[in-house]
A and B are shown apart, each in its own frame.
Chain A
């Protein structure tokens, strides 16, 4: 069996970092998986930077502001919104690779392919309320400052409601991943992560009151509807980035259970694992 089929990596030659990267680019059978993983890591860093620092749309501004104050907010954030969301639109394509890696984890499990396909469909849809609608709406507001402030406020409400009030669409994806992990016999991801997915899904439910309240802990920037949810989501994201990295390290391109990592993070011999499924 070839190296690319078994996941057994030929010995890496010594050399500079660039030299080693070039070597991995050419010979590493896990090249595509690592590209997807690094894309995911870079995306989340950029996502945080663009939303929290450049556009300053997170944490969200006050939901109860009057039209003139909202128009003022657009004026204050004009260039940040335009530049920031231009980059957001560019990086939005990275989500395809990220979703593909998560779907790959499910394809590597001993469960039906339907799980991976469902996840891909749901998360392809979730990109809209998860980032694009907010970006489009706020860009419209920033590009048309001459419009009636009431209309600008409507756009403002629409933008933040779609972004902060629709986290429930991610709930279904979390549950699909959770069920796949619980049914999986290939030990691709640990069961406790499935329960963390359930916990994440349940905290996404608590965002729903943001549609009703304009202030307080249940508003779109409130302690419960926003901050607690963000805390759980960041934890969840950090955990699955770590677990997906481990999954790639353990990957043997077989069909049976993934081998465990030895202490130096190289897969253990897995000859028996690669028997035909």
Chain B
């Protein structure tokens, strides 16, 4: 198949594909919608939300946050190493990111199991509906993040590929997951 000769390379304003930044914007808007609805409902039943929030273990939330921040740190190191053409180090950091992501998943599932065991389910009250909804939709984003990381690893694996733009695009997605979690953590665990 004949291809059209590529036009002049576009000047780079952001790391990775600019298209992925559009996704960051879309997702930020959608989650802003969720957060606004949450805050409105919270202001309508402040006592219920405060009492329910007390049943969450802040330490678990902090642990989740630290693990995801560590994963963001390792994915940033992965990008940096790939820029320096140190692909072995980049791969190590990509796998480390996966490990942190997996730790987050396990701790989140254990937290859900504990809450359900204590009698706090999805339909217990509005706070817990939001708690399960927001953490589950974030969980789903994280699962997609594993696919995205796998694409990054696939890129790094062979000298025939190694597209720096693709690696940065994957890292941008991963940072978005971290960014969204920090907001969810603040709203569900910290905000009083």
Whether a CB of chain B sits under 8 angstroms from the CB of A261 is no
Residue in B19, B41, B133, B144 whose beta carbon sits within 8 Å of that of A191 in the complex = B19
The complex places the Cα of A168 from the Cα of B7 at a distance, in Å, of 39
In the docked arrangement, what's the CA distance between A143 and B160, Å?
66
Residues 39-60 of A at the B interface (beta carbon under 8 Å): none
Chain B residues with CB under 8 Å of A110's CB are 1
Question: Quick check: is A126 within 8 A (CB to CB) of the other chain?
Answer: no
Nearest to A224 among chain B residues (CB) is B37
A223 to B34: give the CA distance in the assembly, Å.
Answer: 9
B residues contacting the other copy or chain, number (CB 8 A) = 28
Bound-complex Cα distance A129 to B5 (A): 45
A255 to B2, CA, bound (A): 8
Interface 0/1 of A251-277, CB less than 8 Å to B: 000011101100000000010110111
Residue of A185, A203, A216 near B129 (CB, 8 A) is: A216
CB-based contact A213/B123 at 8 Å: yes
If the complex has contacts A213-B123, A217-B37, A228-B34, are A206 and B22 also in contact, measured as CB distance less than 8 A?
Answer: no
Q: Are B3 and A185 in contact (CB under 8 A)?
A: yes
Given A194-B19, A196-B23, A231-B33, A202:B137 Cβ within 8 A: yes
Most chain A CB neighbours (cut-off 10 Å) among B26, B34, B123, B129: B26
Interface membership of B18, Cβ < 8 A: yes
For residue A171, give the distance in angstroms from its CB to the closest CB of chain B.
11
Q: Does B141 lie at the interface of the complex (its beta carbon under 8 Å from any beta carbon of A)?
A: yes
Contact B19 A213 (CB under 8 A): no
Is there an interface contact between A228 and B33, defined as CB atoms closer than 8 Å?
yes
Interface pair B123/A212, CB less than 8 Å apart: yes
The residues of B that contact A223 with a CB separation of less than 8 Å are: 37
Any A CB within 8 A of the CB of B17: yes
Highest count of chain B CB atoms <10 Å: which of A191, A213, A272, A276: A191
User: Contact size class for A?
Assistant: 35 or more
**Binary contact readout B124-151 vs A (1 if CB under 8 angstroms, 0 otherwise):** 0010010001000100110010000000
Q: Please determine whether B129 and A209 come into contact, CB atoms closer than 8 angstroms.
A: yes
Contacts of A275 in B (CB 8 A): 2
A196: chain B residues at CB < 8 Å are 22-23, 26
CA distance A131 to B187 in the complex (A): 37
Smallest CB separation, A197 vs chain B (Å): 10
| CB-based contact B137/A205 at 8 Å | yes
- A255–B1 touching, CB < 8 Å: yes
Contact of A202 among B3, B37, B140 (CB under 8 A): B140
Beyond A231-B33, A256-B1, A256-B2, list 8 extra A-B contacts (CB 8 Å). Answer: A110-B1, A195-B19, A196-B23, A212-B123, A256-B3, A272-B5, A273-B4, A277-B2
Report 15 cross-chain contacts, Cβ distance below 8 Å, ordered by A residue. Answer: A199-B26, A199-B27, A202-B30, A202-B140, A205-B137, A206-B133, A213-B123, A218-B129, A224-B33, A224-B37, A256-B4, A272-B2, A272-B5, A273-B2, A277-B2
Interfacial residues, chain B to chain A (CB-CB below 8 A):
1-5, 7, 17-20, 22-23, 26-27, 30, 33-34, 37, 41, 122-123, 126, 129, 133, 137, 140-141, 144
